[in-house]
Amino acid sequence: MMPYLFKIGNFELRIYSLMIITGLLICIFMAGRKMVKMGYKKEYLENMIIVVFIAALIGARIYYVIFQWEFYKDTPLEIFAVWHGGLAIHGGIIMGFIAALIYSHYLKIKVMFFGDLIAPWLILGQGLGRLGNFANGEAHGVPVITPPEIIFRLKPVFTDFWTSVLYTFNLNSMPENVSKLNEIAKNGAEVTFQGKVYELKEYVPWGISFTDKHMPAAYRDFGTLAVHPTFFYEMILNFTAAAIMYYFWRNSKNISTGLIFGIYLISYGLIRGFVTMFRADDLMLGFIRAPHAASLAFICIGIFLVVRAMKLKDNI
């Protein structure tokens, strides 16, 4: 897959950027139209989105750098090299919400008004962004020859398991060598890990492989091995959540109660918590995945907001 639609000299129209811009435009159009119907100026929303978007980018980068500090402390200039990759969605959501809180206080409008207003379109945009990840060959999953028992563990062991796989078959981590596992797995291969024998085979038929063209992260990590298309897993689930939130969003009485934003936090917490099990490149917080810790916090806050919104509705 090509990461850009076209290239003229040093200029590239990257698919990832196009998806992000498309998501922003959809949000501005749909939420802006709803805001006008509710008697507010559309400019409030447009300014809010600009402020939140910038803050979210900064937050996503800070979050990523914090969890990769062992690398960045020795290469401080790389902290600013966002074009080399390294954005974490949880950090973007946290910093974006803080910016929205400050800006809504300035406008003297409830922050949950904006949260409910943009929530369906926010998660829709996140789904579109995963198409960009596919185009870049990044945010990918582990190879589909990985046994489910290795994937579905709260404490990640894939890195150690993969080291055992390469050692067993006398392969180094170079993509050309890792690609040899395609034939090895077809002939029936077994690996002993933590005292248990695991079979390497194609556990699901929908894996996606990448070539060395454009040298995407998926190829650098696993050569031409088919990997779990985690970008599509999350995209489908995000679009489904967006449809559910849209159902509540159509009723203007739900706007500003926190109900829709609460559903967003619960939905994305569950989605990211599930998808991260398949991811090969997640950040770590001690012995657990950082997205699991953040997702748990999102779910708890989301439940609080939904329960609070339902109580407010009962009191009306």
Q: Is 297 exposed, middle or buried (CB count within 10 Å of its CB: 0-12, 13-18, 19+)?
A: middle
List per-residue pLDDT tens for the chain, 316 residues long.
Answer: 688 787 787 777 889 889 999 999 999 999 999 999 999 988 999 898 889 989 999 999 998 898 888 888 888 888 887 766 678 888 998 999 999 999 999 999 999 999 999 999 999 999 999 999 999 999 999 999 999 999 999 889 999 999 999 999 999 999 999 999 999 999 889 999 999 999 999 999 999 999 999 899 999 999 999 999 999 999 999 999 999 999 999 999 999 999 999 999 999 999 999 999 999 877 777 778 888 999 999 999 999 999 999 987 755 4
Please choose, from the candidates 212, 132, 223, the residue with its C-alpha nearest in 3D space to the C-alpha of residue 173: 223
Q: Classify 303 as helix, strand or coil.
A: helix
CA 208/CA 224 separation, integer angstroms: 9
Structure tokens, 160: 């150690």
Q: Which of 88, 64, 93 is nearest to 78 (CA)?
A: 64
Integer Cα distance of 223 and 208 in angstroms: 11
Rounded to whole angstroms, the Cα distance separating 58 from 92 reads: 7
- Looking at residue 81, what is its pLDDT? 75
CA atoms within a 13 Å half-sphere pointing along the CA-CB vector of 181? 34
Q: What is the pTM of this model?
A: 0.90
For the chain, give every domain's residue range. 142-228
CB 289 within 8 A of CB 282: yes
The type of residue at 16 is: Y
Other Cβ atoms within 10 Å of 36 Cβ, number: 12
Q: Quote the pLDDT of residue 189.
A: 93
Q: How far is CA 137 from the centre of its chain?
A: 14
Q: Which residues contact 287 (CB under 8 A, 6 or more apart)?
A: 155
Nearest residue to 278 via CA among 185, 146, 97: 146
- For residue 310, the one-letter residue type is M
Q: Is 272 annotated as a binding residue?
A: no
